[in-house]
Amino acid sequence: MSSATFDFDRVEVRDVSRHFGRRRALAHVTMDLRAGELTGLFGPNGAGKSTLLSVLSTLMMPTGGAVTYGGRLGRDVGDVLRGRIGMLGHDLFLYGDLTALENLEFFGRLYGLDDVPGRARAALAAARLDDRAHDRVSGFSRGMRQRLALERAILHRPRLVLLDEPFTGLDDASSVALAARLSAVRAAGAIVVMATHDFDSAEGVISRAWYLRDGRASALSETGGTLRERYRAAIRQAKA
Amino acid sequence: MIEALRAAWLVARKDLVVEARSRELVYTTLFFSLAVILIFAFGFVQEGRPIEGTAAGILWVALAFSGTLALGRAFEREREAETLRALLLAPVERGAIYLGKLVALVALMTCVEVVIVPVVVLLFDAPIGRAPGLVAALIAAGTVGFAAVGTLFAAMLIRAHSRDVLLPVLLYPITVPVVIAGVRGTAAIFAVEPNLALARMWLTMLVFFDVVFVTLALWTFGAVMSE
């Protein structure tokens, strides 16, 4: 089965828990993620957002519960499932000693993509880094690396796109551009899941929001003010 | 299989390009191994004459220590921007990632060996001319065995806080057979009365260890890298 032949339009998280020794990072999380939706994960530091992204990416195995991709468990699909997942980590997953173009071409070839040079050029254009294609990534600003890292994560046009703090280090213009890029990815039918603390940038981009605290997830109300207001209301409710 | 080998080659080539740009590992490892050899030379070479039978041991001590240094640093690079996670997310067999890292490390250690072996030969009057091919084969097989175990452990420890301490603690006991076979095989060639048949026997042992270590590492890499 090649990554081109395996596809899914729904990811189901069922009663997923994850423990690190005695510490509970996720506790009985249940949620559905659908194609064409951008789900925001909000919560304080250490709430379990990054752990949930790692579990969704298949990099981390849940201690309990299961994640299914189009109704199939990750271990049943095998390596090809990873070809349908793109992830932008908090640490960007880029090689500083390679140029922007080399980074994209390396990952493009590793994913077995066709027309790697063409895709890499298009990705550089989308990241507005055409003129820095042959510069080493170590010389880039955080914002430039962030833009490049996003394009690297979606170079293979994944179905499931996982983003951990994608707005970190971006100026206002770059945040707006990233939000527009994410909207386009979502509109193209991807299942996008984004962990962020940036309510302003996420507002208007996300279609559903979840609040995580101490590993437990609850859906944020879809009405009742701005995203930030709804988040604060969820915190108050959790403390009550 | 071909896809896995292609992925392994991509990973190895990427590592070698990164190293060719920074030259950090080659310079560090080379400097360290030369320092080790020179310190031994101060102790074991008196009035221009080395103590007999020391060359093989000194050569392998330098190889093992510099190899450990290279292993730790090679994976530190993958940790800095979490790029190992990006590699593990690729739709390729995880054994291919291991194989690529192993090939790059062996290539790097070989570059260092090309310099330090002549230095040992020069300083300790090691008679490498008796069987240069056999010495090269012993070193190559020993390097593969050492790197095979080291690559697996360095990858396993990438998220451990005390990885710099743990790597040699785990690595040296497991690679003792490789080091013993390497030292004994090389010593059999460098001895006053060389025994090439004995050296070949140790080479066969080394190749056996290589096959066992690489097979076990390929088999377990995917599982041990799961978080």
> Is the CB of B3 less than 8 angstroms away from the CB of A112?
yes
Of A58, A82, A93, the CB nearest to B83: A93
pLDDT at B74: 80
Mean model confidence pLDDT for chain A: 90
Mean pLDDT in residue range A78-107:
93
Q: Which residues of B touch A89 (CB under 8 A)?
A: 82, 85-86
In this structure, the answer to whether residues A50 and A65 fall within a common structural domain is: yes
- Give the model's pLDDT for residue B35: 94
Structurally, chain A folds into a number of domains equal to: 2
- In this structure, are residues B27 and B108 in contact, taking their beta carbons and an 8 Å threshold? no
B87 with A110: Cβ contact below 8 A:
yes
Instruction: Please provide the DSSP assignment of B186-222 as one string.
Output: HHHHHSSS--HHHHHHHHHHHHHHHHHHHHHHHHHHH
For residues A166 and A80, membership in a common domain is answered with yes
Of A109, A138, A157, the residue at which a domain comes to its end is: A157
The pLDDT of residue A133 is: 93
pLDDT the model gives residue A4: 55
Instruction: Check CB contact under 8 Å for A82 and B89.
Output: yes
Shared domain for A184 and A136, answered yes or no, is: no
How far apart, in whole angstroms, are the C-alpha atoms of residue A132 and residue A102?
Answer: 11
Please list, in sequence order, all residues whose beta carbon lies within 8 angstroms of the beta carbon of residue B197, skipping any fewer than 6 positions away.
none
Alpha carbon distances (Å) from A9 to A78, A110, A158, B48, B166: 17, 24, 11, 75, 44
What residues contact B10, with CB distance under 8 A and at least 6 apart? A106, A109, A110, B100
Which of B10, B22, B90 is the closest to A97 by Cβ?
A: B22
Residue contact A112–B18, C-beta within 8 A? no
| Chain B residues within 8 angstroms (CB to CB) of chain A | 3, 7, 10-11, 14, 17-18, 21-22, 80-83, 85-93, 226-227
Q: Supply the pLDDT for residue A52.
A: 95
Cβ of B159: how many Cβ atoms within 10 Å?
12
My answer on whether A64 and A169 are in the same domain is yes
CA distance B12 to B107: 9
pLDDT higher than threshold 60 for residue A153: yes
- The pairing of beta strand B45-46 with beta strand A160-164: unpaired
Task: Give the model's confidence band at A49: pLDDT under 50 very low, under 70 low, under 90 confident, else very high.
Answer: very high
| Chain B CB contacts of A59 below 8 Å | 85, 88-89, 226-227
Question: What CATH number is attached to the domain comprising A217?
Answer: 3.40.50.300
Sketch the domain layout of chain B as residue ranges: 2-225
Closest CB to A109 among B10, B21, B88: B10
Residue A168 belongs to some domain of the structure:
yes
Please indicate whether, in this complex, the C-beta atoms of A111 and B90 are within 8 angstroms of each other.
yes
Q: How many CB pairs under 8 A join A and B?
A: 76
Task: Please give, rounded to a whole number of angstroms, the shortest distance from the CA of A156 to a CA of chain B.
Answer: 10
Query: Is residue A92 assigned to a domain?
Result: no
pTM of the model: 0.89
Query: Are A1 and A61 part of one and the same domain?
Result: yes
Provide the β-strand partners of residue B50: B45
Nearest beta carbon to residue B18 from set A3, A85, A95: A95
Cβ pair A97:B21 closer than 8 A = yes
Give which of A110, A116, A162, A165 to mutate to test B binding, by max B Cβ within 10 Å: A110
- A206 by DSSP, 3-state: which? coil
Residues A172 and A234 in one domain: yes
Q: Is the pLDDT of residue B138 over 60?
A: yes
Same domain, yes or no, for A149 and A207?
no
Mean pLDDT of B121-148: 94
Q: Measured between CA atoms, how close is B98 to chain A, in angstroms? A: 14
Q: Are residues B17 and A102, on separate chains, in Cβ contact within 8 Å?
A: yes
pLDDT band at residue A228 under the 50/70/90 scheme: confident
Express each pLDDT in B44-82 by its tens digit: 888 888 888 899 999 999 999 999 998 888 888 888 888
Reduced to 3 states (helix: H, G, I; strand: E, B; else coil), residue B175 is helix
> Which chain A residues are Cβ-neighbours of B82 within 8 angstroms?
89-93
- Tens digit of pLDDT for each residue in B180-200? 999 999 999 999 888 999 999
| Complex ipTM more than 0.95, yes or no | no
CB contact under 8 A, B91 and A81: yes
- Whether residue A170 sits in one domain with residue A65: yes
Kindly state whether residues A136 and A201 are assigned to the same domain.
no
Judged by average pLDDT, the poorest of A140-144, A227-231, B21-25 is: A227-231
Statement to judge: residues A7 and A76 lie in one domain: yes
Which of A122, A157, A192 is the C-terminal boundary of a domain?
A157
Q: In terms of DSSP bridges, do strands A10-20 and A23-34 run parallel, antiparallel, or are they unpaired?
A: antiparallel
E-state strands within A99-198: 160-164, 191-195
Contact: B91, A111; criterion CB under 8 Å = yes
CA B181 to chain centre: 14
Q: Per-residue pLDDT tens for A8-29? A: 999 999 999 999 888 889 999 9
Closest C-alpha among B196, B42, B180, B52 to residue B126: B52
Note the residue count of chain B: 227
Q: Which long-range contacts (CB under 8 A, 24 or more apart) does A173-182 make?
A: A174/A143, A174/A146, A174/A147, A175/A201, A176/A201, A177/A128, A177/A147, A178/A146, A178/A147, A178/A150, A179/A204, A179/A205, A181/A126, A181/A150, A182/A38
Quick one: A180 and A227 in the same domain? yes
Name the helix (H) or strand (E) containing A16.
strand A10-20
Residue A238 has pLDDT above 80, yes or no: no
Distance CA A43, CA A57 (A): 19
Give the model's pLDDT for residue B223.
82
Residues of B whose CB is below 8 A from A62: none
Least confident segment among A120-134, A211-225, B134-148: A211-225
Residue A114's domain comprises 97-157
